[in-house]
C-alpha cells in the first residue's frame, strides 16, 4: 500500500479547502478596509469605533476557525499515515503503548520508526518541531480558552518548549518577545494559522512522508531480521 499517495491526497484537499474557504471572509475584510460595496456607505454614528467593526471581527474569527480546522485535519492525516505504516505497510507494534504515547503520537512513531529506519532524524530534511506544533495547535484548538473570544492562545507548556512558536502572527510574536517572552504572561500569543504557515506545515508533512518512503528498504531489512529472530 502506498501510504504517501493517500497522505498527499488528503493534504491536497486541505490546501484546496483552506484556499476556497478563506475567500468569502477575506473578501469581507478587504471590502471593509477599502470601503468597497456594500461597506462603502456606513450609517451615521457617534460611536468612535470604526464602521462595520463587528462584521470585520466576525470575518476575522471565521478565518481563524478555518485555519484551526485545517490544522486539525492535517494532524489527523499524520496520525492516520503513521497508523497505516504501522498496520499495513511495515508492520510493527509497541512494547508498552501507554508509555510510548505519553509524549504524544509524533514522538511515539518517530521513536519506533527511527529504530526501524536506522535514523536519529538529524539527517531528515524536515523540521520535526513544525510537525510537533501541528499536533499541539490541533490539541489546543479543540478546547477554547475564553467564552468571550474564538481565538486560542498557546499554552504555557508549548511556549516553554517552543519560545518561538510556528503558528503566530508577527505582531503578537514581537509584542510577546518585547515583553520578556514569559510563558505565563497574559500577553502569550494566540495561535494564528496563516495561509503561509499552514501550507509550509503541509510541505513539512509531505517531505517527511517522502523521506520515510526513501528509506523503506531499511524497513524491509528490519522485517527480515525480526522474522529470522522469531523463527530461531
Radius of gyration of the chain (CA): 22
State how far the Cα of 49 lies from the Cα of 219, in Å rounded to an integer: 61
Contact 160, 187 (CB under 8 A): no
**Confidence at residue 225, expressed as pLDDT on a 0 to 100 scale:** 87
Higher pLDDT, 137 or 187: 137
232 pLDDT exceeds 70? no
State how far the Cα of 218 lies from the Cα of 179, in Å rounded to an integer: 48
**Confidence at residue 176, expressed as pLDDT on a 0 to 100 scale:** 83
Confidence grade of residue 229 (pLDDT, cut at 50, 70, 90) = low
Number of C-beta neighbours around residue 228 at 10 A = 9
230 pLDDT exceeds 60? no
Higher pLDDT, 214 or 144: 214
26 pLDDT exceeds 70? yes
**Confidence at residue 166, expressed as pLDDT on a 0 to 100 scale:** 96
Among residues 168, 164, 170, the alpha carbon closest in space to that of 189 is found at 168
**Confidence at residue 8, expressed as pLDDT on a 0 to 100 scale:** 98
227 pLDDT exceeds 80? no
Confidence grade of residue 228 (pLDDT, cut at 50, 70, 90) = low
Q: What is the pLDDT of residues 184-217, one digit of tens each?
A: 888 889 999 999 999 999 999 999 999 999 999 9
Average pLDDT over residues 149-164: 90
177 pLDDT exceeds 80? yes
Q: Could you tell me which residues are beta bridge partners of residue 153?
A: 190
**Confidence at residue 218, expressed as pLDDT on a 0 to 100 scale:** 96
135 pLDDT exceeds 90? yes
Q: What is the pLDDT of residues 59-114, one digit of tens each?
A: 999 999 999 999 999 999 999 999 999 999 999 999 888 899 998 999 999 999 99
Side-chain-facing half-sphere of 203: CA atoms under 13 Å: 8
Amino acid at each position: 500500500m502506498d501510504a504517501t499517495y493517500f497522505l498527499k491526497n488528503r493534504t491536497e484537499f486541505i490546501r484546496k479547502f483552506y484556499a476556497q474557504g478563506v475567500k468569502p471572509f477575506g473578501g469581507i475584510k478587504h471590502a471593509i478596509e477599502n470601503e468597497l460595496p456594500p461597506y462603502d456607505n456606513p450609517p451615521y454614528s457617534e460611536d468612535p469605533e470604526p464602521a462595520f467593526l463587528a462584521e470585520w471581527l466576525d470575518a476575522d474569527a471565521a478565518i481563524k476557525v478555518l485555519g484551526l480546522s485545517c490544522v486539525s485535519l492535517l494532524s489527523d492525516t499524520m496520525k492516520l499515515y503513521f497508523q497505516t505504516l504501522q498496520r499495513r505497510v511495515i508492520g510493527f507494534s509497541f512494547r508498552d503503548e501507554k508509555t510510548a504515547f505519553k509524549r504524544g503520537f509524533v514522538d511515539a512513531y518517530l521513536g519506533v520508526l527511527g529504530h526501524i529506519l536506522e535514523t536519529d532524524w538529524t539527517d531528515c530534511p524536515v523540521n520535526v518541531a513544525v510537525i510537533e506544533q501541528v499536533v499541539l495547535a490541533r490539541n489546543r484548538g479543540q478546547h477554547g480558552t475564553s467564552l468571550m473570544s474564538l481565538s486560542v492562545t498557546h499554552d504555557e507548556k508549548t511556549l516553554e518548549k517552543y519560545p518561538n512558536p510556528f503558528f503566530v502572527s508577527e505582531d503578537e510574536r514581537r509584542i510577546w518577545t518585547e515583553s520578556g517572552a514569559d510563558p505565563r504572561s497574559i500577553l502569550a500569543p494566540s495561535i494564528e494559522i496563516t495561509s503561509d504557515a499552514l501550507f509550509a506545515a503541509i510541505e513539512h508533512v509531505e517531505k517527511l512522508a517522502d523521506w520515510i518512503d526513501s528509506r523503506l528498504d531499511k524497513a524491509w531489512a528490519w522485517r527480515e531480521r525480526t522474522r529470522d529472530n522469531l523463527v530461531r
